[in-house]
Amino acid sequence: MSSSGAGPGRRRALLAVVAVVLVAAVAGGLALGGVFDGGGGGSGSGSDHGAGSRTAAQAADDITLAAGPTSVEAPLLFTKFPDGVADQVMAALTKYVDAGIVTALRKGKADDAALGTVVDAGVTAQLAGADRSVLLDEGLPRAVGRLTVTAPAIPITALVGADGRALVVIATVRLDETAKTGRGAVHITRNGDLQFAPDAAGTWKLSGYDLTVNRDGRAVPGGAEQTSGGTTTTTRRKGSG
């Protein structure tokens, strides 16, 4: 199976896209030199957040996602990870997986109405183009029987302003999906960063992504002509402007 990956600077690349927001949030001409360097001027909490692992209500679907260690990038030392943010981000991430991955694999098409509640306008626009296949698993034979989506504990990094509020959160994911279809098995991995930001009402939504997606198995288009099945690899990056 072929694969490709983004470089180690992926998380910082997405954070850099929105760093200008933090500059605007810091009053009094605070020096920002070194804030985002290495461990950052902010403190990494390093604590394991207990935000929920969950299992889908359908017995045939096994979806397990849990928050991992949290860390902070901030202009002030000893900034803590904001309370409740990891839970809200994990809830949004789980809804995205339900609507864009599980539903797409079960029905052949994602639940656009549900996705509209967890992605921002920028990502919605991307879903109308070639990046749709980066975030969603549409166009494959419908999954039958057991479907699993698993991931190691998901590290969560928050870009926090001087007022202690999280401006942007990055969830680093390694999603592993397996499903059986009428044409055979399919295996999908989705690795990289998902960026979340609060909307005007304070609801956390997917606002950017930097992902590498690999699909392989006989159910992947082209697999019927290949003994080992088809393989596709896609890498895309979108940061909010």
- CA-CA distance, 225 to 121, in Å (whole number)? 39
Q: Is residue 140 part of a domain?
A: yes
pLDDT confidence tier of residue 92, bands split at 50, 70 and 90: very high
- The pLDDT of residue 138 is above 90: yes
Looking at the structure of the chain, the number of domains it has is 1
Q: Is residue 29 part of a domain?
A: no
Q: Is residue 158 part of a domain?
A: yes
Q: How many CA atoms lie within 13 A of 107 on its CB side?
A: 12
| pLDDT of 102 | 97
| pLDDT of 78 | 87
Name which of 62, 43, 46, 42 is nearest 54 in CA terms.
Answer: 62
Q: Is residue 2 part of a domain?
A: no
CATH number of the domain bearing residue 202: 3.10.450.50
Structural domain of 14: 10-24+41-238
| pLDDT of 233 | 54
Average pLDDT over residues 119-146: 94
Interacting residues of 42 by C-beta distance below 8 A, sequence separation 6+: 35, 72, 73, 74, 75, 76, 77, 79, 160
What does the pLDDT look like over 6-48, one tens digit per residue?
Answer: 444 444 456 554 444 444 333 333 332 333 233 333 344 444 4
What does the pLDDT look like over 54-87, one tens digit per residue?
Answer: 333 344 899 999 999 999 999 998 899 999 999 9
How far is CA 153 from each of CA 5, 7, 87, 171, rounded to the nearest angstrom? 20, 21, 13, 10
Q: Is residue 97 part of a domain?
A: yes
| pLDDT of 36 | 29
* 124 neighbors 116 (Cβ within 8 angstroms): yes
* 91 vs 26: which has the higher pLDDT: 91
Q: Is residue 5 part of a domain?
A: no
Q: Is residue 1 part of a domain?
A: no
What does the pLDDT look like over 190-238, one tens digit per residue?
Answer: 999 999 999 999 999 999 999 999 999 988 875 433 333 344 555 556 6
- The pLDDT of residue 179 is above 60: yes
Q: Is residue 34 part of a domain?
A: no
